[in-house]
């Protein structure tokens, strides 16, 4: 039986991306965040983290879904950046004159991003359980978590596809991705809750950050309760993903060769 | 299906301004090696990009294996191999680059391995097979880039300046390898600025300048047609001083660009050496002088290229 072209490209993307740098970025950093940041802050935030309706959870319990959400961002970054790397090192052009359609290449990137996101999320979930955190698992919460990871990863891989498609130099690409990495990572609800004491500008920034939506959905699904608010986050996340995906498709369509 | 590649009146401009390919036409027969020569920016790479379906053309017609390049791209891409001018590799080891290629082109695992081993051996890549691509020199990367293409079957092989950075021995080895494949029916479209290798490899050559074809033919056709000045040297052993008028007696003076006579050699520079050589030898013989050696330097493709470009 013939393997579909996009799956062959996905396997290629996995093999090419499994190196020490990618593993540190995908697993090492989030693990450090989870254990180092988690336990350090837990020692400071002794009263727990407020999660609405006069409820609090330990900081590590609060952080764990945020770290799992971070895997969508990281995997989306790795996947989306493949376009840039392939353009920079000539493989985009070579693949485009190979036995593939343009859509195969794009699907290969999205599929590998989702694959990395799931592998990373499962590993982080496994680590989180050793802390330990108590999970609240229902069919609904599992489905919603899977939805958040898939849609979130597609959103971020689209975002990085856009940057890869528009970047004209290595410096520009690196600068944009580093700035985005810090802005999206730390100005989100992955690490800190938005409270009444959060400055207005940071509340807006964090509240409109797609990573916050993923973190909120995962937190509600895995450790709290799914509410209409969770579904609202899911809807917004989906809409933003579609907008990013369409934009990336438009840019991708016009890319012909390397940088 | 007369030709493997048919290009008719092809036009391609960038941003509607810079014309890269200007009403270009040529045909490449099955099993033929066609060399596209031209200076930097002549339109060679653009032509290859059009034929490999990477970019569209503005007008004209281009067919590869009888498929229209603007309509049947996926059919064409299944049956071609391409070596781009720029580096193209995956950020992994040399071995993995071969394996990935085999996997992408749907080779079975055993076939992937056996082909890889053959190619690694032939292209002298054994020492660097475990190295990562970015640790290789430019020439080594190019070797992998060319070798890797033979992992999959193909009917047409497009090579855009494939031997840049290679040492002469490897260059010759690769050219011979390609020629061997053409005996099995492979068609090759080859661009280069190294005229010596075009002369060595190509069955037919097209010279393009500013996107236009300015000359076409076999290497010897082009040399005959555009061959620049050639030098005829006749060595002799005699105490008799040769007289210039006697040497060129009966020869149209327009056939001779320059003549120089020393005590042991006559040197004639002419575009018509074949036409005058017998007469000159006859004249020397008639003067009672015994010739010892005759040397005629052949025109090179470089001479042809320079002459065509000046035109």
pLDDT of residue B308: 76
ω into A132 cis (within 30 of 0): yes
Q: Does the CB of A90 have a partner CB in chain B at under 8 Å?
A: yes
pLDDT in tens, B118-171: 999 999 999 999 999 989 998 899 999 999 999 999 999 999 998 888 888 888
Site from B77, B90, B98, B154 to mutate, A interface, most A CB atoms within 10 angstroms? B90
Query: CB A89 to CB B87 under 8 A?
Result: yes
8-state DSSP, A2: P
pLDDT of residue A75: 93
pLDDT of residue B305: 77
Among B54, B96, B104, the residue with its CB nearest the CB of A93 is: B54
pLDDT tops 60 at residue A259: no
Contacts of A253 in chain B (CB under 8 A): none
Q: Please, which residues have CB within 8 angstroms of residue B254's CB and are 6 or more apart in sequence?
A: none
The two three-digit tokens of residue A65, written as one number:
């879904």
pLDDT in tens, B44-88: 999 999 999 999 999 999 999 999 999 999 999 999 999 998 888
Query: CB A90 to CB B89 under 8 A?
Result: yes
CA dihedral (A166, A171, A174, A179) positive or negative: negative
The two three-digit tokens of residue A100, written as one number:
């593939």
Q: Does the CB of A16 have a partner CB in chain B at under 8 Å?
A: yes
Query: CB A93 to CB B86 under 8 A?
Result: yes
Give the angle A191-A195-A196 at the CA atoms, nearest 5°: 155
pLDDT in tens, B166-217: 888 888 999 999 999 999 999 999 998 888 888 889 999 999 999 999 889 8
Query: CB B84 to CB A94 under 8 A?
Result: yes
Separation of alpha carbons B97 and B150, rounded Å: 12
Q: Which helix (H) or strand (E) holds B191?
A: strand B187-192
Q: Please, which residues have CB within 8 angstroms of residue B210's CB and are 6 or more apart in sequence?
A: B19, B22, B42, B43
pLDDT of residue A248: 94
pLDDT in tens, B259-297: 988 888 899 888 788 888 899 999 988 888 888 899 988
Which of A212 and A50 is assigned the larger pLDDT?
A212
Query: CB A91 to CB B106 under 8 A?
Result: no
Separation of alpha carbons A218 and A190, rounded Å: 10
Among A16, A101, A257, the residue with its CB nearest the CB of B54 is: A257
Q: Report residue A243's pLDDT band, with 50, 70 and 90 as the boundaries.
A: very high
Q: Give the chain B residue nearest A94 (alpha carbons).
A: B88
With a pLDDT cut of 70, the percent of chain A lying above it is 98
Q: Give the chain B residue nearest A105 (alpha carbons).
A: B104
pLDDT tops 60 at residue A258: no
Contacts of B105 in chain A (CB under 8 A): 98-99
Can you tell me the mean pLDDT for A180-186?
Answer: 90
Q: Report residue A139's pLDDT band, with 50, 70 and 90 as the boundaries.
A: very high
The two beta strands, B265-270 and A49-50, are unpaired
Contacts of A89 in chain B (CB under 8 A): 87-91
pLDDT of residue A80: 82
Helix spans in B202-250 (H): 219-226, 244-247
Q: Which of A39, A40, A33 is nearest to A65 (CA)?
A: A33
3-state secondary structure of B119: helix
The domains found in chain B, sorted by start residue, are 3-224 (3.40.50.300), 228-299 (3.30.70.260)
Q: Please, which residues have CB within 8 angstroms of residue A253's CB and are 6 or more apart in sequence?
A: A102
ipTM metric: 0.83
With a pLDDT cut of 90, the percent of chain A lying above it is 66
pLDDT of residue A188: 93
Helix spans in B138-264 (H): 138-149, 168-183, 195-201, 219-226, 244-247
């Amino acid at each position: 039986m013939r393997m579909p072209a996009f799956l062959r490209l996905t396997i290629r993307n996995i093999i090419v991306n499994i190196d020490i740098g990618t593993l540190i970025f995908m697993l090492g950093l989030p693990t450090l965040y989870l254990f180092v940041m988690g336990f350090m802050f837990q020692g400071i935030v002794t009263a727990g983290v407020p999660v609405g309706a006069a409820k609090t959870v330990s900081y590590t319990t609060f952080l764990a879904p945020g770290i799992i959400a971070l895997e969508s961002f990281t995997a989306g970054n790795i996947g989306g950046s493949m376009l840039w790397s392939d353009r920079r090192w000539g493989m985009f052009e070579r693949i485009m004159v190979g036995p593939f359609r343009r859509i195969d290449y794009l699907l290969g990137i999205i599929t590998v991003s989702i694959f990395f996101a799931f592998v990373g999320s499962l590993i982080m979930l496994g680590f989180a359980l050793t802390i330990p955190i108590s999970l609240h698992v229902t069919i609904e919460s599992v489905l919603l978590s899977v939805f958040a990871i898939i849609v979130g990863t597609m959103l971020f891989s689209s975002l990085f596809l856009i940057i890869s498609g528009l970047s004209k130099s290595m410096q520009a690409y690196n600068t944009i991705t580093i700035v985005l990495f810090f802005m999206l990572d730390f100005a989100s609800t992955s690490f800190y809750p938005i409270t009444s004491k959060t400055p207005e500008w940071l509340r807006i920034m964090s509240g409109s950050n797609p990573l916050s939506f993923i973190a909120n959905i995962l937190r509600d699904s895995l450790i709290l309760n799914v509410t209409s608010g969770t579904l609202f986050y899911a809807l917004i996340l989906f809409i933003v993903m579609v907008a990013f995906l369409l934009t990336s498709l438009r840019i991708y369509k016009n890319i012909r060769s390397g940088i | 299906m007369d030709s493997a590649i048919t290009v008719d009146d092809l036009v391609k401009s960038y941003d509607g301004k810079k014309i890269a390919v200007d009403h270009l036409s040529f045909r490449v027969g099955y099993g033929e090696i066609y060399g596209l020569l031209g200076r930097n920016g002549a339109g060679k790479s653009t032509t290859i990009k059009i034929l490999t379906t990477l970019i569209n053309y503005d007008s004209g017609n281009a067919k590869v294996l009888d498929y229209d390049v603007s309509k049947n791209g996926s059919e064409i891409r299944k049956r071609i191999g391409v070596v781009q001018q720029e580096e193209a590799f995956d950020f992994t080891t040399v071995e993995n680059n071969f394996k990935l290629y085999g996997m992408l082109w749907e080779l079975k695992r055993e076939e992937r391995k056996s082909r890889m081993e053959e190619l690694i051996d032939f292209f002298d890549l054994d020492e660097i097979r475990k190295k990562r691509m970015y640790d290789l020199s430019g020439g080594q990367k190019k070797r992998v880039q060319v070798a890797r293409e033979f992992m999959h079957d193909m009917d047409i092989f497009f090579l855009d300046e494939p031997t840049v950075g290679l040492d002469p021995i490897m260059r010759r080895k690769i050219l011979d390898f390609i020629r061997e494949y053409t005996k099995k029916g492979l068609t090759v479209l080859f661009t280069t600025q190294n005229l010596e290798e075009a002369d060595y490899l190509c069955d037919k050559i097209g010279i393009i300048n500013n996107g236009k074809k300015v000359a076409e033919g076999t290497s010897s056709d082009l040399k005959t047609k555009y061959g620049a000045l050639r030098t005829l040297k006749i060595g002799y052993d005699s105490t008799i001083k040769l007289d210039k008028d006697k040497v060129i007696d009966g020869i149209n003076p327009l056939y001779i660009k320059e003549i120089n006579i020393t005590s042991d050699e006559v040197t004639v520079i002419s575009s018509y050496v074949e036409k005058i050589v017998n007469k000159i030898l006859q004249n020397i013989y008639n003067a009672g002088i015994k010739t010892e050696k005759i040397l005629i330097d052949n025109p090179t493709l470089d001479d042809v290229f320079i002459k065509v470009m000046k035109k």
